[in-house]
Structure 1
Amino acid sequence: MHALIVVAHHDPHSLTHGLAKKIAQGLTQANRSATFEIADLAAEGFDPRFSFADHAVHHREASPPMDVLAEQARIDRADALVLVYPIYWWSMPALLKGWIDRVFSNGWAFDFSLDKPFIKKLQRLQVHLVAVGGADDDTFLRHGYGQAMTAQIDHGIFDYCGARVVSSQRLLESETLEPALHLDNAYLIGQRLFPLSEETAQVQARPECA
């Protein structure tokens, strides 16, 4: 099983990056056969701007640009997609939103045309959302921010493409709580990405032969 962990934060020393690494650590320690790739959108210089070329792709007038094809190939190789990002203005950062705008294109993530039935094309993909926020849970509940994020991201993006959001967590009070609390939670998220069958768990539990 292979996971693509996409992180959207400009600072490699941020809590967001630390969470991504902990998820990867938990994944590989829970399942020795599992693999992962971390896609650092900021460090890799992904261009999130939706351009005329992307507009042509949406209208099925052109093939996706090479950078988009590369990201789609990454997702095609993955059994699970994990998005790790800070919450900016009660949503995801522009870098990650632009990645979705460009990569989840018509013809790859879904098929839309005026003369054919709509098709969701990412039904095999499992998605895990890990959002980091400074506010507390009561703020999200009181103002409906959490419900709004679920509607626009979980349903508005991934359900539209047929992908299944298996888990969606908001790690809150990130500027006031001890980082270790969220890092421990991220480790558990990684451990649960690919649940082991009983047979596989027994094999992994056996001591190595001398």
Structure 2
Amino acid sequence: MHALIVVAHHDPQSLTHALARQVAAGLANAGHSSEIADLASEGFDPRFGLADQALYRGLAATPADVRKEQARIERADAVVLVYPVYWWSMPALLKGWVERVFSNGWAYAYDANSVVKKLRGMKVHLVGVAGADGGTFERHGYGEAMRVQIEHGIFDYCGAEVLSSTLLENSEVVDPTPHLHTAHALGERLFAGCEVAA
């Protein structure tokens, strides 16, 4: 089985990148393959521009950089997003990736008065890296807000299934070792119960 690990952090030495590498290592230990899509170092442009608007309206073909990302997703049996929590959501780089890549006609389509979910069967795992503690998220309802915005508002809208959502708390003040172990374990069990390709 194969996973696409999407990382949205500008610093390759960040905990976010280290976590993505641990997910990949866990996958490898379990006999699976992965590809890390490092959006920052690859220079992905997250700005939804005129070409994206034309695609949305059905007036133009998919831009080449968007089609490349869609092909990466299509090759994967699961997608893992690893990102820091900025302002109680994903960073602009990742949000822009979603806005451009999960395009009309590919991720969803309109059929009369309803939305056709075109990513049914897509499996998603979310790994958010939070500076705050869990109590802060709970007290202010931010955890639920993130679930509604990201799990429901993005993935369910397209028919994708979020199989796990992990929030790694206190990332700026605690020893990161437990978080790294959590990411490794996630990779090891990502395809638990699935046949390993020969």
Per the TM superposition, whether the score is higher than 0.5 is: yes
C-alpha deviations, 1:117-166, integer Å up to 9, x for none? 42101111100000000000000000000000000000000000000000
Q: 1:165 aligns with which of 162, 165, 175?
A: 162
Aligned to 1:90: 88
Paired residue total: 197
Q: Root-mean-square deviation (CA), in Å?
A: 1.4
SS at the partner of 1:44?
A: coil
Residue 145 (structure 2) pairs with residue 131 (structure 1): no
SS at the partner of 1:42?
A: coil
Distance 1:13 1:19 in 2: 11
Which stretches of structure 1, 4 residues or more, deviate above 2 A after TM superposition? Answer: 115-118
* TM-score between both structures, scaled by the size of structure 1: 0.91
Aligned to 1:180: 177
C-alpha deviations, 1:157-192, integer Å up to 9, x for none? 000000000000100100111010100010111011
C-alpha deviations, 1:85-139, integer Å up to 9, x for none? 00000000000000000000000001125x3642101111100000000000000
* TM-score between both structures, scaled by the size of structure 2: 0.96
Percent of pairs identical after alignment?
Answer: 62
Distance 1:121 1:109 in 2: 5
Distance 1:178 1:196 in 2: 32
Q: 2:37 aligns with which of 36, 39, 51?
A: 39
Q: Whose radius of gyration is greater, 1 or 2?
A: 1
Distance 1:159 1:196 in 2: 24
Distance 2:113 2:3 in 1: 33
1:1-210 maps to which residues of 2 (within 5 A)?
A: 1-30=1-30, 32=31, 34-112=32-110, 115=112, 117-196=114-193
Structure 1: unaligned runs, 5 residues or longer: 202-210
